[in-house]
Chains A and B, each alone.
Chain A
Amino acid sequence: MDLVIIKYNAGNIQSVLYALERIGVNALVTDDYEKIQNADKVIFPGVGEASSAMRYLKEHKLDTVIKNLQQPVLGICLGMQLMCAYSEENDTTCLGIFDEHVKLFSPPTDRGIKVPQIGWNNIFNLKSPLFKGLPENSYCYFVHGYYAALGEHTIATADYVQPYSAALHRDNFYGAQFHPEKSAKVGEQLLKNFLSL
């Protein structure tokens, strides 16, 4: 199987590559349109800031490439947020694959809730083959200050400040707010599930 990880100006891309290697799958990290378009499956990872990432994607015409992909695509963390319609992070118009909006966590100041959320949180209301074999309330590793609100494309929910989208799905596009590549066995199962979609 031809698996491609999209290379752009965001961090954490190597970690995804290594996680795939651990489950015995090789992937190509590339920003070459043809290779992305012709891949069997595409992973769109990333840790970083939304507006500079969108600017980079547009400059390299990767925005159009990603939107028009027909094969299964998995966005991770910033990748998932960039697949949404809009992000409050520096007022950024994103790819619009999912209608959901990305907002900043704004906890009431007296509750001692930290932003960004860093650590393991449980995911529930799991509604996709992406979660095959994973029980409700599986724990995943999250690192994010912005979140996608719940919406019609939500396929998993997490709760931090309020319930929000831990994962999204529309047609061939999937997104995970957490990091499967860092979520121990749970993450490995999810990556395997994505590869067998």
Chain B
Amino acid sequence: MLCKRIIPCLDIKDGRTVKGTNFVNLRDAGDPVELGALYAQQGADELVFLDITATVEKRKTLRELVNRIAHHINIPFTVGGGISSVDDVSALLQNGADKISVNTAAFKNPQLIQELSKEFGSQCVVLAIDTRQEEDGEWYVYLNGGRTKTEARCFDWAKQGVELGAGEILLTSMNHDGTKQGFALDITRELATKLPVPVIASGGGGTMQHFVDVFEQAHADAALAASIFHFKEIAIPELKGYLQGRNIEIRPV
């Protein structure tokens, strides 16, 4: 049986891991390569590295970091942050990234998804969507790390992204991110059950039961979290044991 995946996310700024609450208040949680290798050893199924200050000048630094990660880590990893061209992706894949995630640039230029999936295959194109549920009950797409609201509905954009060739959706609920009150089950379920590609749920995981809920109730294919792992609030082996005890298919540590 295909397993549900547990994915620690490492936000990177200036080559170091950081994680904020609701996208502000960054705290330092260490060296990305060391931390990533530790998670891999503990039984993480994949890793996601998001460069949150990706600027043109910093891209070379990111490539070097990706290369170092690829040398040291024996599980798959995704790299995202500021990716806006086929050349960006080509450089990251050549340095050993397994997948890349696109967000703002893909929204502004949806053709990018098609170009990337044609050039490198859908399996390495992850569409990351930051979404927030507004007063009207609708989930809207946000850009630029959650700073810019759009009028697009989350489901519509996800569906379009998949039609253009995205092979996976990384869905972050801004309402839930950093709250540790549980994942956004409704929107995750909508995407996970209506789209033909895997959905990674992100934002809000605070207890081991939250992971059970997102897999069982929302049918997420994978769950991503950051600070609870970085600050050792939940250990991956413990989490996997808990999920196994709830009869959720996971890769044993």
Mark A residues whose CB is within 8 Å of B. 11-12, 14-15, 18-19, 21-22, 47-49, 112, 114-122, 139, 141-145, 159-160, 179, 181-185, 187-188
For B, the interface residue count at a CB cutoff of 8 angstroms equals 34
On whether A119 and B45 interact (CB within 8 A), knowing A14-B70, A114-B221, the answer reads: yes
On whether A117 and B2 interact (CB within 8 A), knowing A47-B124, A182-B74, the answer reads: yes
On whether A121 and B2 interact (CB within 8 A), knowing A47-B123, A145-B123, the answer reads: yes
Shortest distance between the CB of B83 and any CB in chain A (Å): 16
The answer to the question of B230 belonging to the interface, with a C-beta cut-off of 8 Å to chain A, is no
A118 and B123 contacting across the interface, CB-CB below 8 Å:
yes
Q: Which of A18, A49, A187 contacts B70 (CB 8 A)?
A: A18
Q: How far is the CA of A20 from the CA of B251 in the complex (A)?
A: 23
Q: Which of B74, B222, B252 contacts A19 (CB 8 A)?
A: B74
Q: How far is the CA of A47 from the CA of B123 in the complex (A)?
A: 9
B219 and A14 contacting across the interface, CB-CB below 8 Å:
no
B198 and A114 contacting across the interface, CB-CB below 8 Å:
yes
9 contacts between A and B (CB under 8 A): A11-B124, A12-B93, A22-B72, A22-B74, A118-B198, A144-B123, A145-B123, A182-B75, A188-B74
Q: Which residues from 65 to 96 on chain B have a C-beta closer than 8 Å to any C-beta of chain A? A: 70-72, 74-76, 93-96
Mark B residues whose CB is within 8 Å of A. 1-3, 5, 40, 45, 70-72, 74-76, 93-96, 98, 120-124, 167-168, 192-193, 196-198, 219, 221-222, 251-252
Q: Which residues of the partner chain A approach B93 to less than 8 Å between Cβ atoms?
A: 11-12
| Prevailing SS type, chain B contact patch | loop
On whether A114 and B121 interact (CB within 8 A), knowing A119-B222, A120-B251, A185-B74, the answer reads: no
Which residue from chain A places its CB closest to the CB of B194 in the assembled complex?
A112
Shortest distance between the CB of B197 and any CB in chain A (Å): 6
Shortest distance between the CB of A186 and any CB in chain B (Å): 10
A141 and B76 contacting across the interface, CB-CB below 8 Å:
yes
Q: Which residues of the partner chain B approach A181 to less than 8 Å between Cβ atoms?
A: 74
Extra contacts besides A22-B71, A114-B221, A182-B74 (8): CB < 8 Å: A47-B121, A47-B123, A118-B198, A121-B1, A143-B76, A182-B76, A184-B40, A187-B74
